[in-house]
Amino acid sequence: MIQQGIMSLPVSNYTEYTEEYSDEQIIEIFLTTCNRSRYTRRNYSRAIDQFREFISFKPLREITWREIEVYKISLEQGFCSKSRKSLAPATVASLIDPLRSLYKWGSDPNIRVFSHNPTTSVHTAKVPITSKNHYLTKRELTQLLNQLRKQGYRDYLLGLTLVLLGLRVSELVSIEWGHFHTDPAETSVWLTVMEGKGGKQREVKVPQTLWNLLCQLPIRSQRLFPLSTRQVERIIQKAREQSKLVKKVTPHWLRHTNATLALLHGASLQQVQETLGHSEITTTQRYLHTVEQMKKAAPDFVEDCLKDIL
């Protein structure tokens, strides 16, 4: 209804009309029209609400770079957390990025609910990429899956689905039975991932062994795993602790493990990119660097050369 009201207005009245919008209405329109998954929209909503509380609900149109800069520094120094601990750069970025998106959208010449974008002068620390080593070896994966099997059939299939399909945890909990389908020749089963990053859909092939196991699950809901993302995280955490794994495994580690093992055993970069749903091939290439290091690094060649004198 709000969007229809905007579209029906003459251009001359547009600016005057948008000024009548409350902050709540602006945020609602933004979250409704932004091309994001429902989990991202939920996180964006929470981040924006936290910022509004920090600024004592000052109108969003009146915000300058100063308020956002002070908010960013407060996050970095821990003033906004109950524990008073400084937040990691990645966490700070996850709380500032929704504000960037909101103001970039709202200051667009075709939308103009904001006269300016106060986030353009705000810079966050570069987030180091630490996930390239977040994978499990075959032995470690076996330990984890064996423990998940002890916890129950559902938990075992949950972990197996994550590692075989390379899904994000939000994608996993969004799977419905109706999202599975066969190819035209009916030779294989595919999953349509509906809640991909950025609201994008993709097709992922389901190995026959996994499909046979999934078909043994009792159908009690439209959803394959009627759980929250937090519940899935707790299931993996419990299995990690019970199996005595040193690595701080999370559900996302199983996604990294999928990419690493696929490349290590002959999958192409494009195949892995399509399975994981990466927009840029450079994101997938991070895993390739890890795999290349596993196969043979420069010191190995030097060792080969000097074996007769070592």
Which residues form the catalytic set? 168, 197, 252, 255, 278, 287
Helix (H, G, I), strand (E, B) or coil at 271: helix
Q: Phi, psi (5° rounding) for residue 4?
A: -65, -35
d(CA 166, CA 206) in angstroms, rounded, equals 11
Let me know the angle formed at the C-alpha of 106 by 100 and 107, rounded to the nearest 5 degrees: 90
Report how far apart, in Å, the C-alpha atoms of 4 and of each of 8, 112, 183, 205, 258 are: 6, 16, 39, 39, 44
What pairing do the DSSP bridges indicate for beta strands 180-182 and 189-193?
A: antiparallel
**Which amino acid would we find at residue 258?**
N
